[in-house]
Amino acid sequence: MFLLLMRVRLQSAINSLRASLRLHPFWTVLLSLLGVGLFGGMFWLFVGLFYFATRLHALPEITYQVFYLLFLFLFAGSVPFIASTLLHSNDYSLLFHAPLRPRTIIASKLIDATVTSSLQFMVLGVPAI
């Protein structure tokens, strides 16, 4: 399930990149390079942090704190995803014509959004907890 979700996200990013390259090639390249540069900078910052933490013999505590804070950031980021899944779903017109109560439809959409969004922070949340 996780690999399928990652494949869908990657394909979505590729499709967005293709569409935006046709409309705004300069801004697309600039923002893509900025994003990759930001990722590389953060990566090397964490490498340096872990290097100094091992020299100070504080690596287990710092590793725990980093995983815990990243888990909280991803958890906070899943709230807008769930809200957008509930509020901006295009399949409500189809679902409300089914012989189900509206409460059941909203509950099933909430469970679906929760499971989908929990996969992204489960990788960090399990070690943090």
Q: Residue 75, class by beta-carbon neighbours within 10 Å (0-12 exposed, 13-18 middle, 19+ buried)?
A: middle
Q: What percent of the chain has pLDDT over 70?
A: 84
Q: For 35-49, 52-66, 81-95, 103-117, which range has the lowest pLDDT when averaged over its residues? A: 81-95
33-75 pLDDT, tens digit each: 888 888 889 889 888 877 887 787 777 777 777 777 777 777 7
Global pTM exceeds 0.75: no
